[in-house]
Amino acid sequence: MQYDTIIKRGLYLDGSGSEPFIADVAIKDGLIARVSREEITDAAVEIIDATDRWVTPGFIEPHSHYDAEIIAAPELSESVRHGVTTVMTGICSISMVCGEAEDCSDLFTKVEAVPREQVLPLLKTKKTWRSPTEFRDFYEQQPLGPNLATFLGHSDLRADVMGLQRSVSGEKPTDAELNKMEAVLGEALDQGFLGLSTMTTKLDRLDGDRAWAKPLPSTFAKWSEFRRLNRLLRSRGGILQSAPDAVGKLNVIAFLWETMGWFRKQLKTTLLTVMDLKSNPRLPFLTRLSGMVSRYLLRGNLRWQALTSPMIVYAYGLDFNSFGELADGRVLREMKDPDEPYEQVEDPAFRQTLKNNMNTMLGSGLWHRDFSDAWVVECPDAAVIGKNFAEISKQHGKDPVDTFLDMAMKYREEMRWGVQFGNHRPKVMRKIIQGSHYQVGFADSGAHLKNLASYNFPICLLKYVEDGNKIGEKSLSTAAAVRRLTGELADWYGIDAGYIREGDRADVVVVNPAGFTEDVWDMVDAPMPVFAMDRLVNRNDAAVDAVFVNGNLAYSNSQFRDSDGYAPNLGKERVFGKFLPGESSIRPSQPNPTKLNISQAA
């Protein structure tokens, strides 16, 4: 047999967590055709030397916001270059399935900090679908980079059924409208959607002219509405993705109840989020406890999504999403005229109220509200770059909050500043990575383009593990760490991904562990031609040598030098990623007639 590719002498990790071994891996017609401890001597179109490398399944990102970018630039190159071969969209109640172009844009752009002036024209031009069936039909024909699995967003569904403005008015849907929501959700499950995503925290706000700064439609739903849709998910084996109230947090009890499997089917549920937050250092303990309650007491199936890299947020002037966590600071996020927030902070009474609000931790959210732990990244005044606002305030004899506000007023968006919300203690991070009640892969790729940069979260996780093992700190084995990023997620979500055994689709990453250096954490501005802007990304290309999707070489740091490492046809020809249906689908995925034959021949 002549193979398409043979990857030689790499440490083979199949995604199951089994003990790895040195092997040759042969690919033919998009599938893993042979895995051999002995050297494969057959001919191949391409041979890759993986000596001192790991050969792993493609990584899975279960929490992306690529809903807009995948339409404009389906190669999703920034994730592919870090070994991600499957992404999930339709998260946090926001999908681009049912609604008209303007509705979908208004739901998405302010919440996910993606420019409306780019997204709205894109959707008006490209969005030809208005149903789950039409959505899947589009992506079955769309050239992709990584594979796509998706949720139906409740805000998208609710706004389409009720109308955007009614959906955020507080008015309850009629019984006929609830029936329509159930019907569309049922259609989505038939078409292979993973389930439904909802939202209960009101910090995120809408864009556009019709419902500016209103919370997402899903946050206006009563629990009776959620329960009705959850019953359908439960009966069909669908998944609920959601987030408890980020400030009050008490409604997590309702989510725990919904997962319960006593005298009924359990509702598979994944929630945002577990981090080692500076504002709430007990959060890992509390989420672990809730996971144990769900599993052992309620017979549920709950997983908290974990970010596996430092949680660093970058902001520009007063454009900082977490001001929305402050009762009196929320007004800064609700003003549409970009000049208004700066006029507001000139008022001494507002400043004092803001400072009082920041000094109380009652009902705190993600942000720890400490400007001594926020530093200047860019500024026309080069003397302040790298300093935190407390250091700068001492030089001027001012309160750090006043110092920040004065500098924001003076420099506006020319002042970029950063703050680390959490994931600052590697020892705690290694515990989170090991937690059986947690899922890794909350990265928000495709959103917050100027604020977050966690595209290389799989490499960050592997570095945490390898660093811990080097210093003798109890951590996962290499095989278990790879499984967390691959087979474990594929099994839980019920998708055909996450493994590289004979007969499996060949989504493969060649990882160079020598590349797990400190520049894993570095952030840079990289051009994003599709939206005519730069975005913030992590780039540590030494850690990933090659990425195959569906057996085709999609990225190589030694080939395709004329296209920044990407295959010239990535996202342009239908030979890479596919639409991956979930277990609840009654419509089969497109068959691959070569799978059985290759497996038998191998």
The pLDDT value given to residue 269: 97
DSSP characters over 284-313? HHHHHHHHHIIIIIS--EEEEEE--S-EEE
**With a cut of 50, which residues of the chain have pLDDT below it?**
362-363, 591-602
Ranges for all domains in the chain classified under CATH 3.20.20.140: 90-128+152-312+422-489
198 closest CA partner among 183, 215, 175? 215
54 beta partners: 11, 511
Q: Among 376, 467, 397, which residue's Cα sits nearest to residue 425?
A: 467
As a whole number of angstroms, the distance between CA 221 and CA 170 comes to 8
Coil, strand, or helix at residue 444? strand
**Cα 42-48-54 angle, rounded to 5 deg:** 115
Q: What is the pLDDT of residues 508-541, one digit of tens each?
A: 999 999 999 999 988 899 998 888 889 999 888 8
Nearby residues of 374 by Cβ (< 8 Å), 6 or more positions away: 388, 389, 404, 417, 418, 419
Residue 209 to residue 197: CA distance in whole angstroms: 25
Write the Ramachandran bin of 150: left for phi over 0, alpha for psi from -120 to 50, otherwise beta. Answer: beta
The pTM (predicted TM-score) of the whole model is 0.94
Q: Is residue 47 within a helix (H) or strand (E), and if so which, with residue range?
A: strand 44-49
Query: For helices 101-108 and 154-162, what crossing angle results, to 10°?
Result: 140
Whole-angstrom CA distances from 363 to 216, 247, 358 are 20, 5, 11
pLDDT, position 355: 81
Strand-pairing partners, residue 314, are 418
Read out DSSP for 121-139? Answer: HHHHHH----SHHHHHHHH
* 8-state DSSP, 372: G
Residue-level pLDDT at 298:
94
Which amino acid is residue 418, in one-letter code? G
**CA atoms within 13 A of residue 63's CA, in its CB half-sphere:** 27
Residue type, 483: R
pLDDT at 321: 85
Q: What is the structure's pLDDT at 3?
A: 96
Q: Is 297 left (phi over 0), alpha (psi -120 to 50) or beta?
A: alpha
Token pair of 503, please?
Answer: 């007969």
Do residues 323 and 342 lie in contact, with contact meaning Cβ atoms separated by under 8 Å?
no
> Which pLDDT score, from 0 to 100, does residue 523 have?
86
Q: Which residues contact 402 (CB under 8 A, 6 or more apart)?
A: 351, 355, 393
Question: Class for domain 90-128+152-312+422-489, per CATH?
Answer: alpha beta
pLDDT at residue number 598? 37
User: Which residues are within 8 A (CB) of 462 and not within 5 positions of it... i.e. 6 or more apart?
Assistant: 478, 481, 482, 485, 511, 513, 516, 543
Which pLDDT score, from 0 to 100, does residue 589 have?
A: 60
Q: Are 82 and 41 in contact (CB under 8 A)?
A: no
Q: Tell me, what's the pLDDT at 599? A: 34
Furthest CA-CA distance within the chain = 79
Instruction: Give Cα 122 distance to the centre of its chain.
Output: 22
